[in-house]
Amino acid sequence: MLSRSNNVLSRIYKAASWRHLPLNHERKAITTLQRDLIKKQELEKDELRPLYMDFQATTPMDPRVLDAMLPYQVNYYGNPHSRTHAYGWESETAMETARKQQVADLIGADPREIIFTSGATESNNMAIKGVARFYQSKKRHVITTQTEHKCVLYSCRVLESEGFSVTYLPVQKNGLLDLELLEASIRPDTSILSVMTINNEIGVKQPIEEIGRICRSKGVFFHTDAAQAVGKVPINVSDWKVDLMSISGHKLYGPKGVGALYVRRRPRVRLEPLQSGGGQERGLRSGTVPTPLAVGLGAACSIAQREMEYDHQRVSMLADRLVQKIMSAIPDVVMNGDPSQRYPGCVNLSFAYVEGESLLMALKDVALSSGSACTSASLEPSYVLRAIGADEDLAHSSIRYPGVGLTTEEEVDYTAEKCIHHVSRLREMSPLWEMVQEGIDLKSIKWAQH
Backbone angles phi, psi at 247, to 5 degrees: -130, 145
Geometric angle at alpha carbon 373, from 115 and 133, rounded to 5°:
40
pTM of whole model > 0.85?
yes
Backbone angles phi, psi at 261, to 5 degrees: -125, 120
Measured distance CA(143)–CA(159) in Å, rounded: 11
The pairing of beta strand 244-248 with beta strand 51-52: unpaired
- Is the confidence at residue 14, as pLDDT, over 80? no
Measured distance CA(170)–CA(145) in Å, rounded: 6
- Residue 38 is predicted with a pLDDT of 54
Helix (H) or strand (E) holding 135: none
Q: pLDDT (tens digit, 9 = 90+) per residue, 428-438?
A: 998 888 888 87
Measured distance CA(322)–CA(348) in Å, rounded: 11
- Is the confidence at residue 423, as pLDDT, over 70? yes
In the chain, where does the domain assigned CATH 3.90.1150.10 lie?
A: 309-439
Measured distance CA(103)–CA(97) in Å, rounded: 9
Yes or no: say if 103 and 298 are a contact pair by the CB < 8 Å rule.
Answer: yes
Q: pLDDT (tens digit, 9 = 90+) per residue, 229-243?
A: 999 999 999 999 999
Measured distance CA(189)–CA(218) in Å, rounded: 11
- Is the confidence at residue 446, as pLDDT, over 90? no
**3 state DSSP class of 60:** coil
**3 state DSSP class of 241:** coil
Q: Is 57 exposed, middle or buried (0-12, 13-18, 19+ CB in 10 A)?
A: buried
In the chain, where does the domain assigned CATH 3.40.640.10 lie?
A: 63-303
What is the DSSP-derived secondary structure letter of residue 202?
A: T
**3 state DSSP class of 294:** helix
**Bigger pLDDT: 90 vs 18:** 90
First to last CA, the chain: 46
What is the DSSP-derived secondary structure letter of residue 310?
A: H
> Among 151, 215, 346, 374, which one carries the catalytic annotation?
374
Q: pLDDT (tens digit, 9 = 90+) per residue, 186-197?
A: 999 999 999 999
Of 3.30.420.40, 3.30.360.10, 3.40.50.620, 3.40.640.10, the CATH number of 63-303 is: 3.40.640.10
- Residue 378 is predicted with a pLDDT of 54
Measured distance CA(261)–CA(96) in Å, rounded: 15
- Looking at the domain 309-439, which fold is it? Aspartate Aminotransferase, domain 1 (3.90.1150)
Yes or no: say if 225 and 246 are a contact pair by the CB < 8 Å rule.
Answer: yes
- Residue 112 is predicted with a pLDDT of 97
C-beta atoms surrounding 243 within 10 Å: 25
**Catalytic residue flag (residue 215):** no
